[in-house]
Each structure stands twice: as structure tokens, then as C-alpha cells.
Amino acid sequence: MSFKRLWAIFKARNYEFFRDRSAFGWNFLFPFLLVAGFGIIFGGKTYTEYKIGIFPSATEQVSVAELNIPQRFKDTQYLKFIGFPDAAAGMEKLKHHRIDFLLQTGRGPHQYWVSDTSPKGYVVEQMFKASLVPTESKFNAVKKEIKGNAVRYIDWLFPGILAMNMMFSALWGVGYVVVRYRKNGVLKRLKVTPLNAFEYLTAQAISRIFLLMFTLVIVWTGCDLIFSFRVQGAYLDLFVIYQSAH
């Protein structure tokens, strides 16, 4: 094996990649725009897990502090209260699972409606019943908390975008290039040179690994400067996994 011939094919493949505008856009701009787009759309939103219908209410937007419902239920996190003018309007939404729980405001006994086919409705019902238990009651349980950083949606999305970019880049950067060279007659021309098949395929593989690492660093650095990603784990482990994927 001649390293001189291997190096010549390696450089030629890299020059071809950087001169190809479509490859540049797919490997650099597309993952960045994808991360930026999803980050703008979903990054700033706070999601509520359960939707509670309240009636009677003149407006859909309700003031939770002014609702005449159990205080402990109002203080429960991850609940979104939606106002309805009457029970019929709320029942229509409940039947179509647009809300998880329907509650009538006022003094007790409190009336509520829940769908027997809704898992979320069952959970909200248990939370509502628990809010009616007197605070003086002692439960046979001890609360233990753990501390940690919340994982943002974009932190969860970014590794998948990188993996997708590497997968398509490896597929189209090696397999498709060989097929294209064969259709264009390049392989026939290379066959009359001292270059053998092993040197050619080795140069193609090394070139693709180099380009993948280069694009990974560029995309990672650019996105990190804007979105400040948090990596939970060791960078060395990430590098080993990245190399194993090839």
C-alpha cells in the first residue's frame, strides 16, 4: 500500500466535498437550521401536563387565585385551568379529550366530571380527592428529594440531530460516491493507474471520518455558542461512542 497514493485520493475527496455547495448546505446549514428552528418553536414554551375545565366562567382565561375550589388543588403544579360558560360546553371538550377534568366552582360538595377512558383524568381525580383531605391528617410516608438540572427540549433534540447528520453523511459520502464514480466512469480511469481498490476505499473511509469529525465540531461549536448545550457525561465517552459508530 502506498501512502502517497492514499494521501492523494484523501485530499482529492476532501476538495470535492468542500467545493460541493449541496454537500456544504446539507452537512453544515441543515442541522444548524433544524436545531435553531425547533429551539425557537419549542424552546421557550412551558408545558402543562393536565387541563382542568372550570365552569361557570365568563372567559376562557381564568384567575386561579379567584377560583372557589380547594386551595391545595389550586396550588398543585402542572395544572392548566380553562374556563367554560356552562357544563355543556365543558362536557363537549371532555368527551373529545380536549380537557382531562371538568369541575364546577363553588362551595362543597364539589361536583366534577371525568372520562373513564382517560388515564390523565384518573390521575387528576386522585389529585383532586387528595386535596380534599384535611391538612391535619398524617400520611405514612416520608418525602425524599433529589437535586438535578432540568433537561431542556433542545438538549434532548440536539444529540439526535447530530446522529442523523452523521448517518446520512456517512451513507451519501461513501456509498453514493462510489456508485457515482462508477456511473461517471471515474473508477475505470482509476483502474489504469497504480491505485488499487484497497487504497481507494481506505482513502474514502478516512476522508469521510475526517469530514464527519470536522462537521461535528463546527455544528456543535456554532450551536453551543447560541443555545449553550449541557452535556451530561464525559466527552471522552462521547468520542469513543462516536468512533464506534463508524
- Let me know if 69 is exposed, middle or buried by CB neighbors in 10 A (0-12, 13-18, 19+): buried
pLDDT over 70 (residue 44): no
Per-residue pLDDT at 16: 81
Q: Rounded distance, CA 187 to CA 178, Å?
A: 8
Q: What are phi and psi of 176, to 5 degrees?
A: -70, -35
pLDDT recorded at residue 221:
83
Query: Which range has the worst mean pLDDT, 32-41, 110-119, 146-155?
Result: 146-155
Provide mean pLDDT across the span 41-61: 79
Q: Which of 30-39, 118-127, 133-142, 164-173 has the highest mean pLDDT?
A: 118-127
Which sequence spans correspond to the domains of the chain?
Answer: 3-42+152-244, 50-131
Give residue 162's identity as a one-letter amino acid code.
L
CA–CA distances in Å: residue 2 to residues 52, 99, 178, 192: 72, 69, 20, 16
In percent, the amount of the chain with pLDDT more than 90 equals: 15
Q: Is the pLDDT of residue 137 over 80?
A: no
Mean pLDDT of 217-244: 71
- How far is 30 from 36, CA to CA, in rounded Å? 10
State the amino acid at position 33 in one-letter form. L
pLDDT at 241: 61
Model confidence band, residue 65 (pLDDT cutoffs 50, 70, 90): confident
Angle (nearest 5°) at CA 177 between 173 and 178? 125
Rounded mean pLDDT of the chain? 80
Mention every residue, 6+ apart, whose C-beta is less than 8 A from residue 78.
48, 49, 50
- Secondary structure of residue 53 in the 3-state scheme: strand
Confidence of residue 136 (pLDDT cuts 50, 70, 90): low
Range in 101-105, 142-146, 149-153, 177-181 with the lowest mean pLDDT: 142-146
Q: How confident is the model at residue 46 (pLDDT cuts 50, 70, 90)?
A: low
In this predicted model, what pLDDT tens digit does every residue of 2-20 receive, in sequence order? Answer: 888 888 888 888 888 888 7
- Residue 172 C-alpha cell reads as 451519501
pLDDT tens digits along 148-187: 566 677 777 777 888 887 787 777 777 778 888 888 888 8
Q: Higher confidence at residue 242 or residue 88?
A: 88
Largest Cα–Cα distance of the chain, in whole Å?
Answer: 92
CA nearest to 223, candidates 20, 40, 24, 21:
40
